[in-house]
Structure 1
């Protein structure tokens, strides 16, 4: 395959990926507003269901605009060789290949973020605000962006620089070394995310003494789960949406509850949510996901090593020479169908794990409070109760609400 043929293959992959994503989203948004199910009658009204559909349609149309713009820009850059032009420009002012690549990606990152910034602002302060979710102030929005840039430069830029240095120094043999670094980094982030990164954006405080903490610790003790770290995060400073998550391993494991979750649920419901999270740990879902992710990265890096010095890819992107940064972009586009399939596979596994964690909570604590908690959470976040099956298959990491309730209530 010559460079011109490869260019149109890359464009075809971008077009196919965009159309597939929009098709599944379109099928989902066309789902009719159903009658309120019997099991939700005490929590949900027909008016609230209609509001949920309006929220879904609004986000679909907004996503169509933003992703459509990104799609057109990507296709234009491929068709008219913009990536190759940018490579030629950076190479005239910078001699070292490593710094050429870093400058190249830095310009692309800055241009992409500036393009998306107005849309991020509109989504936060218009769409989320219109539906009663937004609590973010303009100051917090700006600070979050600046902190995100800093983290992106330090962590993302550091890893990218190491990857490029290894490629320039070792050629196609780089992948073994960077795979080891990536695996170590993933473990490090899992262990220290709530200690090092999360506090940069949110305030974490230990759960205060009281009935909730007493109930949580009593349940954890009953299932042989040592738990000393239960924290509350100030999610209400940004949104009314609620969540809970589990982080870390061994002595560094932590349970984090959003303050909005605590405000919206009873002690029994919150304990059931914790039982679900402990179920993930007991069933080794966290370790399982970590191992699979590390293996996926290894496969991706090995495949990248086969293409990283390809002259054809560089030429297909409009370059006049072999450039590692051009080949990295070309590889991401070529690998996109495989990434989609891997993502679907991971979502299937995740949905299975969610059912298992629900079942663990049902067997070791109680089904009813978890079901009630899921109902309240879904109503508060305007969750769609009848998503299209194909959209679920492709995109959902959690089973739809009605499927989870069926398992819990039967």
Structure 2
């Protein structure tokens, strides 16, 4: 096998991913059930169901255009040697390999952001606005973008620089040291994301005294869950959609409720949703998810460490002398089929965990409140009630509402 063969393998992988994703999207788009299943009656009235279908169609058309543009740019970069041109530019600026790699990915990231920016603006201020979801102001949108860039520079830059430095000095053990660094960072972020990063974007305040807090504290005692505090996040500053999530490990665990969730759901429904989130913790889903992610990263880095220095990878993208950033880019594309298969198993596991967390809430007699709450959340988000089964299999980390309700009622 030579560099030309690898180049065409890369082309085939990129094309296959695009075509496969579009096929799945098309199947899901064409799956329209005019009759709402019996278990879901009451989620939508006729007018709102029509609105949901319009929302689904708008997102499909918009997503298709966005994917076509991204695919076209990627193909142009590959066939016209765009990555080699950027590599030549960064090597002219600096002879330091770390600086070269940081500049290379900075250029790639900036280009990707510029291309995606019009789509992000249209999605937020046109589609989400048209269907009544958007609460983001232009000021918030710009600040979010600037903060994201700043975090990439302040956190992502030094982390990548450290990994590149390890590559330059550690030889065959590069993958092991890089794994230790990235694993440590992953665990740190799992524990501290909601207390260090999230506050840069959203305000979190302790849930105030009252009926809801009393109900939550009463349930936490019943469940044997040490609850230091429940935080309310101002999700309504960006969207009307509701959510709740659990994050952290050990003493750093934290439950966060969107203010929109508190607005939309009754107290017993919120307790049921909270019971589901506590179920994830009690059943150690967060812990095992972190462990699984760390193991996967170790495998990826081990394989990457074996091939990153191969001249064939760099030559496949038009660069004669192998280097870290071109090797990483080529490897990322070549590894994507393996990552795709691993992702299928992870989504299957995720759906299994969601059923288990629902069952945990059921154990406290909260099935009716949980079903009612899930229906309200789905209705207010104009969720697709009848997605195509293949689309669900490949893309859904949570089971569709109908399957969740049926599983809850079977318990």
2:132 corresponds in structure 1 to: 132
CA positional deviation for 1:392: 0.4
1:42 corresponds in structure 2 to: 42
Q: 1:233·1:257 contact (CA, 8 Å) conserved in 2? A: yes
Evaluate the alpha carbon distance shift between residue 75 and residue 171 of structure 1 in structure 2; reply closer, same or farther with a 3 A threshold: farther
Please list, as runs of the form range in 1=range in 2, the aligned pairs for 1:191-230 lying within 5 A after superposition.
191-230=191-230
CA–CA distance in structure 1, aligned partners of residues 93 and 132 of structure 2: 49
Q: How many residues align?
A: 410
2:341 corresponds in structure 1 to: 341
Q: 1:280·1:357 contact (CA, 8 Å) conserved in 2? A: yes
CA positional deviation for 1:317: 0.3
Q: Which runs of 5+ in 1 are unaligned?
A: none
TM value normalised by structure 2: 0.98
1:89-131 CA-to-partner distances (Å, cap 9, x unmatched) read: 2112211111111111111111111111111111100010001
1:274 corresponds in structure 2 to: 274
CA positional deviation for 1:43: 3.2
Q: 1:136·1:238 contact (CA, 8 Å) conserved in 2? A: yes
Give the CA RMSD over aligned residues: 1.0
CA positional deviation for 1:171: 3.1
1:319 corresponds in structure 2 to: 319
Q: Which runs of 5+ in 2 are unaligned?
A: none
CA positional deviation for 1:380: 0.4
1:173 corresponds in structure 2 to: 173
Moved more, 35-44 or 14-23: 35-44
Residue 111 (structure 2) pairs with residue 111 (structure 1): yes
CA positional deviation for 1:184: 1.0
Q: 1:309·1:322 contact (CA, 8 Å) conserved in 2? A: yes
Q: 2:344·2:394 contact (CA, 8 Å) conserved in 1? A: yes
CA positional deviation for 1:320: 2.4
CA positional deviation for 1:378: 0.5
1:274-307 CA-to-partner distances (Å, cap 9, x unmatched) read: 1000111111111111111000000000110111
1:57 corresponds in structure 2 to: 57
Q: 1:133·1:239 contact (CA, 8 Å) conserved in 2? A: yes
CA–CA distance in structure 2, aligned partners of residues 171 and 136 of structure 1: 48
1:256 corresponds in structure 2 to: 256
1:5 corresponds in structure 2 to: 5
CA positional deviation for 1:46: 2.5
CA–CA distance in structure 1, aligned partners of residues 250 and 167 of structure 2: 35
1:185 corresponds in structure 2 to: 185
Aligned with 1:231: secondary structure? Answer: strand
